[in-house]
Structure 1
Amino acid sequence: MSIHDIIEGKKQWRAHMARVKSLPPDYQIVYKEMQRYLFKVGPTGLTDGPLLPGIVDFFEEGAAEGKGVLELIGEDVAAFCDDLIKDSRTYADVYQESLGGKPGTAEK
Structure 2
Amino acid sequence: MKRLLALTLAFGLMVFSATAVQANDEEACQALDELSTALDEMATGVHNDELSPEDVQEDVDALKDMAKAIKDGTLTAKVNKISAMLNSRNQEGFVNAVDELVDYIDAEVEENCP
TM-score, shorter chain, exceeding 0.5: no
TM-score (norm 1): 0.31
Q: Which has the higher contact order (CA 8 A, sep 6+)?
A: 2
Higher helix share: 2
Q: Which protein has the larger Cα radius of gyration, Structure 1 or Structure 2?
A: 1
